[in-house]
Amino acid sequence: MYLYLLGLVVFYYLYRWVRELPRVSDKKNKYVYITGCDTGFGNLLARHLDKQGFRVIASCFTEKGEEDMKKSCSSNLITTHLDVRSNESVAKVAAMIKDKVGVCGLWALVNNAGVSVPSAPCDWLTIEDYKSMLDVNLNGLIAVTLSVLPLIKKAKGRVVNVASVFGRISPTGGPYTVSKYGVEAFNDSLRLNMMEFGVKVLCIEPGFFKTNVTDPGNLLKQTNILWNKLPQEVRDDYGPDYVQKISKMINEKLSKMSDSDLMKVVSCMEHAVSAVRPRTRYSPGWDAKFFWLPLSYMPSCVSDYILSREAIPIAKSRK
């Protein structure tokens, strides 16, 4: 019986592997618009797709990001400035893309731009802290998508949204997980809406990888800034050594959990863009596959117990 089940599992994965091998043709006439190409996943993906022959439109937030992309890629790659928080900036880039792609339309949009700070316990933050991140991670993603959706429908192309395992489970406070849950919801609704137009909507849900989003220095700096702004009564609730506990958790657990092989994520992005039969969801990272996603399916009492013991520093009032 066990050998029979094992055989079925092996057959399924072999069948899926073979089925997912074919790639789209005529790449030189397929435009791919990527947000957040200054560093990290977006930067690597733009370079990777450019080498494969796609016509990449790499949007960056900084001039340095644009300059670095131009130096390291072919003349076919187009760079542009984009601030996803600005409707004017989003519309300007969309107009440029419309002129470039012409009647072919836009083959793919990869919504990669995102930030991870401020992240902290909910009662450390203000509504403005939430708005600042939602404007990038969620509202900006939606704005960019809607700005070029008619072009994607014309090409019967695809939208690739970068969410996170934290769009499935919420072990931290603050707006990051809220924004990623929102990306998941937008992704699902858009996928259903676009089916009849031949547009594929796909989601990448990475675990922890070594990027600016998970940089311990940035996270600890932001934690200290927020702590120093707190009223004394809130600090007393958490205890004077709470920041030290967070620092220990970030330096020990986060650093060990974060994978340095960014190509695991980029390979999923590339497959979503170029495969004839892409997957609906990708979960790059062993921690995503074997810890976070299984944990998200467990009863709340189980996941809460595990997270409160392993991921969330204990406040003074909870001792």
pLDDT digit of tens for each residue in the chain (319 aa)? Answer: 777 777 777 777 788 888 888 899 989 999 999 999 999 999 999 999 999 999 999 999 999 999 999 999 999 999 999 999 999 999 999 999 999 998 899 999 999 999 988 888 999 999 999 999 999 999 999 999 999 999 999 999 999 999 999 999 998 888 999 999 999 999 999 999 999 999 999 999 999 998 877 777 888 888 889 999 999 999 989 888 888 888 888 777 777 778 889 999 999 999 999 999 999 999 999 999 999 999 999 999 999 999 887 666 655 555 5
Q: Rounded to an integer, what distance in angstroms lies between the CA atom of residue 175 and that of residue 2?
A: 45
Give Cα 231 distance to the centre of its chain.
33
Active site residue 176: yes
Cβ within 8 Å of residue 9, ≥6 positions away: none
Task: Express each pLDDT in 110-144 by its tens digit.
Answer: 999 999 888 889 999 999 999 999 999 999 999 99
Instruction: Identify the active-site residue in 15, 33, 130, 176.
Output: 176
- DSSP code of residue 314: P
pLDDT for the residue 151? 98
pTM of the model: 0.91
Cβ within 8 Å of residue 20, ≥6 positions away: 271, 275, 277, 278, 279
Cβ within 8 Å of residue 309, ≥6 positions away: none
55-60/78-81 β-pairing: parallel
pLDDT for the residue 191? 98
Amino acid symbol at 123: D
Q: Rounded to an integer, what distance in angstroms lies between the CA atom of residue 3 and that of residue 13?
A: 15
Q: Among 305, 269, 316, 265, which Cα is nearest to 287's?
A: 265
Sign of torsion over alpha carbons 217, 169, 265, 59: negative
Q: Do 222 and 213 meet the contact criterion of CB atoms below 8 Å apart? A: no
Question: Residue 205 has which token pair?
Answer: 């849900």
Q: Rounded to an integer, what distance in angstroms lies between the CA atom of residue 142 and that of residue 148?
A: 10
For residue 231, is the peptide bond before it cis, meaning its omega torsion is within 30 degrees of 0? no
Q: Helices 127-137 and 139-155: crossing angle, nearest 10°?
A: 20
User: Count of alpha carbons within 13 Å of 290, Cβ hemisphere only?
Assistant: 4
281-282/31-34 β-pairing: unpaired
Sign of torsion over alpha carbons 252, 179, 308, 291: negative
